Structure 1
């Protein structure tokens, strides 16, 4: 029997999808690829394959899961299997450098960024920002890994030479211009089947916690302190319509990415800077319940449709 095969390394992030697949009576199987074997002499099973491998897998003890997934995806694609978020998507998931290069190629503005390997090289790169605030982040990230805001080279040097320095898993640290937002929020645009489904306003006043399923507290250095009025962290924006959506859909089509969450921030003059393509996107249940829109349900419907199409061929 042909199935949907879900490739991942974190069951906590897939349970919401499998629940929806069960509701729709879609046959599926999970491939948890933090470890395993790959027999190159055997053909893959028939079905469709959806990759949800995460750049932050190493924070859950799954250090080589993306590397193993890359081999499995190559195997599937060599046999012509239908893979959603395949090899190219994984390349972008685990490298912000590749993300920014691809975004720039499609005319999408990103913050000025310098990649550096080595502590002294990180400090030297920061000197290029000529006294303006800058941030550091990990190239292979997720969960806000390595994000710190600095106002001076001396503060950065103390950090990289001190005990709190976080070594990136791939050795590459990004030094990036700090974009001062109009208000303390970012916007995350969600896409399924390469098409826009909704945008989420994410409050960053209490820290840059962007992942709805696995919130990441970066701390008070990154964003200004919020007010005392309690408000939801994630809010779906009704009727969101901006020309940036067309550009995002174009880049997803060009890179063969079917499911993604793309994040941007507006500076003080309203200009959009895009800084993340998340191909292992998650959804916030509270925000969806209020808006009556459900990302995992739409994803399950998409996978069901694709599986049915395969069965008809």
Structure 2
């Protein structure tokens, strides 16, 4: 690691680094990756000077980095114990890897969230699912990229899946059963926030039925794969009509301030019965290049400026 103060970006997937590296370079902010895939830390040693941004992912286990969650918990606690400036710190990591934590905090802030039951293990999974009308959704508590999300149109089919060889447990053993949200139009919206402030909102097309909604080039999938459907709209497009004054955006900003999350992508759906339902919080947000090309501001650019400002402040105070 460098001996000069800089921004350290803590993560485990180098494929996501390029747009952020370009943004830091453009803003003239010194930054380097800190990959939590292997290694060690001396808990009695002082960390390097700088600003630390954690963008550890709930889906790390899909890249054979399941240990990165625990590695991250240790590193972030170590950094915080030395008083380092950490964005996306240990409390934020807990939101990233637990949809239960997200749901509880969003609901406590007065934000409309889907009716959800968390099932620990499989003992009463089938019984709890029958409390929901069809269709309903099952998903992993520790997800990411929409992995593990399934729609069920029959309780009997769900029962057979739970009892059969294709059942896929969440990495933490917690399965969520959730109401199916009937969207007014076939899209969901992802609102991006940096430094706790609104940057822009993205329309994410769902007409082909995919739940894998990661916007980055590194995790893009064919939204029509296996469906026989052709998407009605581009997979990701800017929603100019969603502004910082939108009532739900105001709620999101208040929520992020309350839970001390500075960088996030928050997903919501507008339902046929007029609800605005927030269903997912991403604390390691990625940005779609097509949206970035048409937006009035850049997500990575705003992050580089934000972290660069923190770095300048911490260096001046040192």
**TM-score when scaled to structure 1?**
0.94
1:183 aligned partner: 185
Segments of 5+ residues of structure 2 without an aligned counterpart are none
What CA deviation, in whole Å up to 9, does each residue of 1:203-227 have, x standing for no partner? 0112223111113578889xx9866
2:160 aligned partner: 158
Q: How does 1:30-109 map to 2 (within 5 A)?
A: 30-109=33-112
- Cα pair 1:208 1:217 within 8 Å, conserved: no
Are 1:260 and 2:264 an aligned pair? yes
- Cα pair 2:200 2:295 within 8 Å, conserved: no
Q: How does 1:161-310 map to 2 (within 5 A)?
A: 161-206=163-208, 207-213=210-216, 214-215=219-220, 229=232, 231-241=233-243, 242-310=246-314
1:311 aligned partner: 315
- Alpha-carbon distance change, 305 to 156 in structure 1, aligned in 2, over 3 angstroms: same
Are 1:2 and 2:8 an aligned pair? no
- Alpha-carbon distance change, 10 to 228 in structure 1, aligned in 2, over 3 angstroms: closer
> CA–CA distance in 2 between the matches of 1:154 and 1:38?
50
> Which moves more between the two structures, 287-296 or 259-268?
287-296
What CA deviation, in whole Å up to 9, does each residue of 1:78-107 have, x standing for no partner? 111110011111000000000000000000
- Cα pair 1:17 1:296 within 8 Å, conserved: yes
**TM-score when scaled to structure 2?**
0.92
> Which moves more between the two structures, 242-251 or 106-115?
242-251
> CA–CA distance in 2 between the matches of 1:312 and 1:189?
33
What CA deviation, in whole Å up to 9, does each residue of 1:242-271 have, x standing for no partner? 211111111111211110000001110221
> CA–CA distance in 2 between the matches of 1:152 and 1:218?
24
- Cα pair 1:143 1:215 within 8 Å, conserved: no
- Cα pair 2:97 2:143 within 8 Å, conserved: yes
> CA–CA distance in 1 between the matches of 2:267 and 2:221?
15
> CA–CA distance in 2 between the matches of 1:268 and 1:225?
25
Number of residues of Structure 1 aligned to a counterpart in Structure 2: 309
Segments of 5+ residues of structure 1 without an aligned counterpart are none
> Which moves more between the two structures, 131-140 or 119-128?
119-128
- Alpha-carbon distance change, 25 to 105 in structure 1, aligned in 2, over 3 angstroms: same
- Alpha-carbon distance change, 31 to 270 in structure 1, aligned in 2, over 3 angstroms: same
